[in-house]
Every structure is written in C-alpha cells, then in structure tokens.
Amino acid sequence: MDYAAFEALTFDCYGTLIDWERGLLEAARPILAAHGASAGDDDLLEAYARHEAALEAGPYAPYREVVGSALIGVGADLGFAPSDDEAEAFATAVGAWPPFADSPEALRRLATRYRLGVITNCDDDLFARSARQLGVAFDEVVTAQQAEAYKPRPDGFALMLERLALPRERVLHVAQSLFHDHVPAKALGLATVWIDRRQGRSGSGATPPAEAAPDAVFPDLASFAAAAVPEA
C-alpha cells in the first residue's frame, strides 16, 4: 500500500486504540463475583458483544445506556440482575479503560504526517476521558452521540468524510473490528487497515464475527505506524 497517497487517517477507538476487552473484563469481574456468577473471559466478551450489538442496532440511545443495558443482558444470561448502581459504574468505567501500550507513541508518530480522526461508538464525555489517555489532539472526532447512530451503520463515516472535506481515496480507515468498521468502510469505498489485536486468539472477543477484506493487516498500531511513517 502506498501510504503517501493518504492525507488523513481515521481510527476506531475502543478495541483499536483503547484496550476495551481488558477494560470490560476488569469492570465486569467484580460485579459477577458479587453475585456469585462466573464465565470464561472469551464467553463473557462474546456475550457482551451480542447484547451490545443488538442494542446498537435499535433506536439510538446514549452509549452509557447501551453499556449498562448490555451488562444487564449478560447478567440475565448468567442468572443474576445487576443493580442500577452496578450498571452505572460499569458504564462510567469506559472512560478509564486503558490504552494499548503502543497507542500514544504510534499516534504521535502518525500525527507528524497525517490528519488524524476518530469515529467512535461512544458518548462525547466518555471519549474525552479516553482521549486524554491517548495524548494526541485529533483533528476530527465523530462520536455516536454526534451521529446519533452506531457503527456498523454508515452515518459516522459519512459525517467524518463531510468534516474532513477530502476525496475518500485520500482517507484511510484503521480499525480492529471487522464487524463495526471494515464492513461499512469498505462498502463506502474506503481503504482500510486491520489492526488485528486478537491475532492468534480464538473467537471474536467483544466484537461480533464478520467477514471483510482489509487492504493491509498489522498485529498492532506500532508496526502500522512504522510502515506509514518509516522515517519518523
């Protein structure tokens, strides 16, 4: 891929820049333990993915509500009912989920060459907390709250392209989730890079399974940044 052909990079946040599987598990484990419930990591992540995707496919609701409701759905699967306070704490924890270790430095490197944007299934305030951990100023941010729609719907992508005011062949989308990102981005004619954070692990984790054909694949953001900005 000729990375010099692109002027802007757009990113998914949770799962690509922020370690949302680790964040989900760390927030969920104490709640399950308090109710005497248990599940393997992959089973818990995949159950969460099913509930979250179903909620995001319906009428728009704030991400806090989606996350809390997805926890309630997982609890029902496991035979317990989270309290309102537990659902609220679980949703609020989104802003504290940790970045992947390579994300801040890779983003700084990429920012020397490209305009950077984020298209994220999140509320404005929760993403703002995550962005502070990433340590870069994004040129454009499109949240689900702004688009009033969740990926894989195309609304957020369309809004980002409008704000960037660039031909789509000058925009490269970088993401982990085939389901949320690569399927809709490719349908819109965007080139994509898959950051395969789950490389070598079975199952689909916290994203529903999907089929897509990214233009390039990297195991992490650092290796992508080295390829896209080789002389930084």
- Regarding whether 59 and 115 lie in a shared domain, the answer is no
Last residue of a domain, one of 75, 96, 117: 96
- Regarding whether 108 and 168 lie in a shared domain, the answer is yes
- pLDDT of amino acid 202: 80
- Regarding whether 48 and 8 lie in a shared domain, the answer is no
- Regarding whether 134 and 200 lie in a shared domain, the answer is yes
Task: Check residue 99 and report its DSSP letter.
Answer: B
Last residue of a domain, one of 36, 62, 96: 96
Q: What is the 3-state secondary structure (H, E, C) of the chain?
A: CCHHHCCEEEECCECCCECHHHHHHHHHHHHHHHCCCCCCHHHHHHHHHHHHHHHHCCCCCCHHHHHHHHHHHHHHHHCCCCCHHHHHHHHHHHHHCCECCCHHHHHHHHHCCCEEEEEECCCHHHHHHHHHHHCCCCCEEEEHHHHCCCCCCCHHHHHHHHHHCCCHHHEEEEECCHHHHHHHHHHCCCEEEEECCCCCCCCCCCCCCCCCCCCEEECCHHHHHHHHCCCC
- Regarding whether 85 and 197 lie in a shared domain, the answer is no
**Number of structural domains, the chain?**
2
- pLDDT of amino acid 232: 55
Asked if 109 and 225 count as a contact pair (C-beta separation under 8 A), the reply is yes
- Regarding whether 115 and 29 lie in a shared domain, the answer is no
Find the CATH number of the domain harbouring 47: 1.10.150.750
What tens digit of pLDDT does each residue of 143-199 get?
Answer: 999 999 999 999 999 999 999 999 999 999 999 999 999 999 999 999 999 999 998
* Regions in the chain scoring below 50 on pLDDT: none
- Regarding whether 122 and 46 lie in a shared domain, the answer is no
Last residue of a domain, one of 80, 96, 112: 96
- Regarding whether 128 and 216 lie in a shared domain, the answer is yes
- Regarding whether 166 and 75 lie in a shared domain, the answer is no
Domain range spanning residue 154? 3-19+98-228
Distance between CA atoms of residues 1 and 74, nearest Å: 41
Find the CATH number of the domain harbouring 121: 3.40.50.1000
- Regarding whether 183 and 92 lie in a shared domain, the answer is no
- Regarding whether 74 and 32 lie in a shared domain, the answer is yes
- Regarding whether 152 and 50 lie in a shared domain, the answer is no
- Of the residues 2, 12, 43, 85, only one is catalytic, namely 12
- Other residues' Cβ atoms within 10 Å of the Cβ of residue 65: 15
Catalytic, 12? Answer yes
